[in-house]
Amino acid sequence: MKSVTMREGEVMVLSLEGRLDAQGAVEIDAVLKDLLRETDSTIIFDMSGVTYMSSAGIRTIVATEKRMKERGGRIHLSCLQPYPRSVLDMTGFSTVLSIHSTRKEAVRAARATVGREIGVPGHAPLAVQTRGAEFVATCTGQDACTLDITGFPTDERSGGRDTGPAIPVTIPVSACSLGFGSPGLPDDDEESAMGDFLSVGHIAAWVLPDSGDTLDYLVLEKNVARIPLATSFLISPSAPPGCEVRVHAGSPGGITLSDLFDSLHEIAKEMDPRYCGVLCTSFCAESPDVQTLNPAEGTPPTATLAGCAVIVDAAALPDHLGGVVTDALVRHLPGRPGIVPRATALVFRDLAAGEGESACEAVARGLSSDVQALLRHLSPRTRIFQATLQLFVISDIRLHTGTTIVFEGDVPGWNPDYERITKSVHHDCSEVRLHPISGGYSGSLVFRDDAYDRSGRREMPFVLKLDRWENIRAEIEGYEGHVKRYIQNNATQIIQKARSG
């Protein structure tokens, strides 16, 4: 199997020639292991030179698709010859894979997958003078993106905390997020410890209740693409920002966050026709007057702020984004009429903001220099002297309240451990449909597993087997130690295993 690898901008293209059989699959796996970057979320397989494909070739394609979906992307196949196409049709995989007749179409689809029109030159900067400040906005060419809402906030009118059930989720490091949670997937054996949470880029920070305001933080390696979390409520864009905005106030008193947010809405209306009333932003700012939603908290009045905010223009919202969705995007505070934008930031007392510095860069510099940082929810009355903001223009909102399991038939013997395992394996799916399969001799529960991601796209079907761990472990050891050793590359692949209790 011959292969040639190149990149169309940020998209990896793998051109194949020969037979994608057991030996070819081993060779392609080795190529992907050497050349695939941790930040890659989509790959194009140019299949114009592939004349034959076996089950081993299908396994390599399916495994790569699963890996890309875990990073928020997928693979794209182009130029399939008649025989490989017939194999995919017979096995049913042609209905779930992204298949294109030409390489050009695959490249276009791949660019849409990563949410970036690669090679499109940026628009000229837009300069605006408004509300006593100067705004300079530069479009990066990034498409508008979806805003993911996981879980739902508790009733803040009564001073509640976001202490609902822990939902497993992963978020991209190319964006920012705010809510209530902590890094790591939920633990089946004990209640997940969660608190006020903020992420900017590859840095996550959180404060647990009753911790004495102690900040915990995690700095991930820059080649890590996504952060796993346990959360009861989280808001996060699904793609990188589409615009950078620099703000300079015309007076030492600065501009309030409320006026700054209104100005961002006006800029988004001017720059992006897909604007629909919702923006998300990460920001690094200098403030001469920091105010928080809880004045009793000890917060320095003058500081550098680095954080994330979600802002809503209710008058511009389309009908399908109203109601319960809007309620999750804003705060309802006890004793206060109206609503307050969600704006969470790390507050650094003794850290001067660098010119043009992003929120992620400021946080990394502050944490590495041991400057004290406080995690705070900002009041819209907070004043800003200068700021650099990464702006996410939101085109749609996607709700995720956990994974729903649907049974296609009677399932005697189902128990809470099986439910936890199934949801853990499918933590980024909205629905899992389990079709019982009978006829085996192991006594295990066996299902055909059809899962759907948060956008409603069907994922690769596979077989799910559930039983006591000692039985599953013995079967895995027997299969890998004996059966697989003789069948080798033609053997069925065990994609994932998990346990509970």
Indicate the pTM of the whole model.
0.66
Range scoring the smallest mean pLDDT among 77-91, 130-144, 177-191, 295-309: 177-191
Contact 351, 369 (CB under 8 A): yes
Query: Reduced to 3 states, what is the DSSP secondary structure of residue 487?
Result: helix
Write the Ramachandran bin of 60: left for phi over 0, alpha for psi from -120 to 50, otherwise beta: alpha
108 has pLDDT over 50:
yes
Dihedral angle at the C-alpha atoms of 351, 353, 358, 359, nearest 10 degrees? 40
How much is the pLDDT for 187?
62
Contact 392, 272 (CB under 8 A): no
pLDDT band with cut points at 50, 70 and 90 for residue 488: low
The helix (H) or strand (E) run that includes residue 68 is helix 55-70
pLDDT band with cut points at 50, 70 and 90 for residue 190: low
151 or 374, greater pLDDT: 374
How much is the pLDDT for 7?
86
Integer angstrom CA distances of residue 33 from 27, 38, 292, 339, 484? 10, 10, 48, 50, 22
How much is the pLDDT for 67?
85
What is the 8-class DSSP label of residue 481? Answer: I
* pLDDT one-digit tens code per residue, 111-140: 776 654 333 344 568 899 999 999 999 887
What are the start-end ranges of the H helices in 203-323?
257-271
* pLDDT one-digit tens code per residue, 14-65: 999 999 988 999 999 999 988 888 778 889 999 999 999 988 889 899 989 8
How much is the pLDDT for 120?
39
What is the 8-class DSSP label of residue 479? Answer: I
How much is the pLDDT for 346?
95
* pLDDT one-digit tens code per residue, 329-378: 888 776 666 678 999 999 998 888 777 788 888 898 888 888 889 999 99
pLDDT band with cut points at 50, 70 and 90 for residue 381: very high
Residue with tokens 């729903």: 404
Arithmetic mean of pLDDT over the chain: 84
Query: 255 CB contacts (<8 Å, ≥6 apart)?
Result: 131, 132, 133, 247, 249, 263, 383, 384
Query: Reduced to 3 states, what is the DSSP secondary structure of residue 275?
Result: coil
* Structural domains present in the chain: 2-113 (3.30.750.24), 126-156+233-399 (no CATH), 403-490 (3.30.160)
How much is the pLDDT for 309?
97
Average pLDDT over residues 212-235: 89
410 or 356, greater pLDDT: 410
CA–CA dist 140, 104 (Å, integer): 23
CA–CA dist 292, 63 (Å, integer): 47
